[in-house]
Structure 1
Amino acid sequence: MVDAVVAFFVLGIIAQLLGAKIPFTDGLYKSLSMFLMIAIGLKGGIALQQHVDSSLLFMSVAVIGFGLLLPLVAYPLLRYFGQLDKVNAGAIAAHYGSVSVATYAVAVALLEANNVAYEAYFPLFVVLLEMPAIVVGLVLAKGNFKIINREFIKKELVANQSILLMVGSLLIGFIGGDSVQKLAPLFIELFPGILALFLLKMGLVAGEQLGTLKKNSVFLISFAVLMPMLGGLAGTGLALLLGLSAGGIALMAVLGASASYIAVPAAMKESLPEANAGMSITASLGITFPFNVLINVPFFIALGQFFGA
């Protein structure tokens, strides 16, 4: 059976391919994105109240290292097999080293629907994986560290919308104590419904991006399918080394497999304007996101249950 939440994503793709006009204002899309980031951050902050110890610090360092490694794997594939210039190879590598909050949210929804337990502090890992790939991707694209200056750190790493909302919500959930429960009716109980609306919009966008595949389409499709598998398997290996549960193995794999289409595109537009943004977003949102939602997420959940049994 197809999960009802995921089915809205399929509905969006079908609607776009059929030419149906489903109005989604930019304001609504941004509001849904903000909701997901705040909800994930709050849930993680609540969980951190009971899980702050030295082992979490060690795991966080390992996750940051994982985030630094992924773009270094993606870059040579793009540069030497895809024959892309270093600017576009670096930009796309940054997308695939970072994470998709929506893909993570889908995985969480499916785990909870199937009563599969996972480590509740995972939103912290989502936040940690947003940042390293942006830095690595820009260094690879420019060939030096000069672009990593004080202004860049302020704009892209500290004041980045998704990072700021998730870190802020995580801290509010952590220090808010029992008062956070007042927010549960909106950010916890309504989470599946809001996610379904967001996925409907993502289906519309993904369907539109599928029609833009032109130059380098064969390689781009191959990369956008292969890289998530490599990242997901690497995430599975990391989760096993860290001794995570079945749900934790699945989520780490999903984080490794996902590609950013919110935080990284904004950073690349500001710091690497010469990169072909259309190529990056087509790969991450038009190919990888549907592939992850429909195939990789269920696969890695099953893989996590196999190893975590």
Structure 2
Amino acid sequence: MLETAIQTFTSPVVLFFVLGLFAAFVRSDLAIPEPIAKAMSLYLMAAIGLKGGVAVAKSGIDATVLSALGAGIAAGFILPFFAFAVLKSFGRLDRLNSGAVAAHYGSISVVTFVTAVEILTGQAREPGGYMVAVMAAMEAPAILSGLLLARGAGSGSGTQSSGEMLHEVFTNSSIMLLLGAFVVGLIGGPLGFTDVAPFFEAGFKGVLCIFLLDMGLIAMRRIMDARAITWRLTLIAIFLPLVNGAVGTALGTVIGLDAGSAAALGVLCASASYIAVPAAMRLALPEADPGIYLTMSLSITFPFNVLINIGLISAFAVLLAGGSGAVP
């Protein structure tokens, strides 16, 4: 477990994120231009989706893939209910904001997943390519559950219709690109990937490092400007990824996933969305406070997962697998 933690924290990907946190903390003027940050985001999502599709095309769709998809969809539906109960009782949030925040913690963070895949691959525990499809499948169930919980009080005459909300979810740029690239990789297969492999493989790690540098800058600056976050909400933003990550990893092990894929499922359950879900919440629940759900997901949970929890989840997956975590 100590070796896993050291491998995680000494990864250049994580160290660039720490650099961003430090630069923002000392109020450096270091910044990544928005157009470049957006281009890097598009590149990373296209690359992970494409490579996932190619991996599934190579291995085929079997009971393991279907089990992982079922587990991910079920987690997306169920996890918001647990988060909602904690947020409303211990966090002392009202129903509307509890539901909005809960949706974030049932959904996923693409960047956390990409970071975890890179770290796990470096530990010889590369997750199955089908985990990209699992990741994409977890977005909509979480948003639907969060919306159901938030609307339980009959609040919000200004809320949008379910049809508009679903359209927002499934046409969101991140989901569209991830699923689209996954389908392209699935159809093209390993042979079709050969021609574009140099572009999507050679620069992937470098782009991810610079992207996480930018995420570190954003996360720390948002923490320093936060006003609506209480100590209770801060604890919840750390507690939920710990519990959800352990549950997801255990679930992955139970359904027969290898250690790397079980860890990836744990990371997906532990992460919190700060792209797709905030966009959907702005449309569906405009009365909810983005200062709460964005600060919790982006500025607390995201750094905690990258710096600490990915390593813990990886070690837990190896422990559950009986100490042999390398993928054959």
State TM-score, norm by structure 1. 0.95
Within the candidate set 280, 289, 292, 1:279 is matched to 292
The Cα RMSD (Å) is: 1.7
1:63-142 to 2 correspondences below 5 Å: 63-142=72-151
1:191–1:91 distance in 2 versus 1, CA, 3 Å: same
The whole-number CA distance in structure 1 between the counterparts of 2:219 and 2:121 is 25
Structure 2 unaligned runs (5+)?
1-5
Q: Percent of pairs identical after alignment?
A: 41
* 8 Å CA contact 1:117, 1:245 repeated in 2: no
Q: Secondary structure at the match of 1:52?
A: coil
Within the candidate set 306, 310, 322, 1:293 is matched to 306
How far apart are 1:231 and its partner, in Å? 0.5
The whole-number CA distance in structure 2 between the counterparts of 1:168 and 1:242 is 27
The whole-number CA distance in structure 1 between the counterparts of 2:22 and 2:249 is 32
The whole-number CA distance in structure 2 between the counterparts of 1:122 and 1:305 is 18
Which amino acid in the other structure matches residue 132 of structure 1? P
1:24-63 to 2 correspondences below 5 Å: 24-49=32-57, 50-63=59-72
How far apart are 1:252 and its partner, in Å? 1.1
Equivalent position of 2:25 in the other structure: 17
* 8 Å CA contact 1:99, 1:258 repeated in 2: yes
The number of aligned residues is: 308
The answer on 1:179 being equivalent to 2:192 is: yes
How far apart are 1:87 and its partner, in Å? 1.1
State TM-score, norm by structure 2. 0.90
Within the candidate set 151, 154, 177, 1:165 is matched to 177
Q: Secondary structure at the match of 1:182?
A: coil
Residues 151-200 of structure 1 deviation map (CA, whole Å, 9 limit, x = unaligned)? 3222x232111111101000000001312222211222211111101100
The whole-number CA distance in structure 1 between the counterparts of 2:228 and 2:113 is 30
How far apart are 1:117 and its partner, in Å? 3.6
Equivalent position of 1:190 in the other structure: 203
* Runs of 4+ with deviation above 4 angstroms: none
* 8 Å CA contact 1:139, 1:147 repeated in 2: no
How far apart are 1:148 and its partner, in Å? 5.3
Within the candidate set 269, 279, 287, 1:266 is matched to 279
1:215–1:55 distance in 2 versus 1, CA, 3 Å: closer
How far apart are 1:5 and its partner, in Å? 1.2
The whole-number CA distance in structure 1 between the counterparts of 2:266 and 2:66 is 20
Which amino acid in the other structure matches residue 25 of structure 1? P
1:58–1:303 distance in 2 versus 1, CA, 3 Å: closer
How far apart are 1:284 and its partner, in Å? 0.6
How far apart are 1:287 and its partner, in Å? 0.6
The whole-number CA distance in structure 2 between the counterparts of 1:99 and 1:91 is 14
Equivalent position of 1:244 in the other structure: 257
1:217-256 to 2 correspondences below 5 Å: 217-256=230-269
Q: Secondary structure at the match of 2:313?
A: helix
Q: Secondary structure at the match of 1:188?
A: helix
Which amino acid in the other structure matches residue 165 of structure 1? L
* 8 Å CA contact 1:94, 1:133 repeated in 2: yes
Equivalent position of 2:3 in the other structure: none
Structure 1 unaligned runs (5+)?
none
The answer on 1:150 being equivalent to 2:156 is: no
* 8 Å CA contact 2:72, 2:135 repeated in 1: no
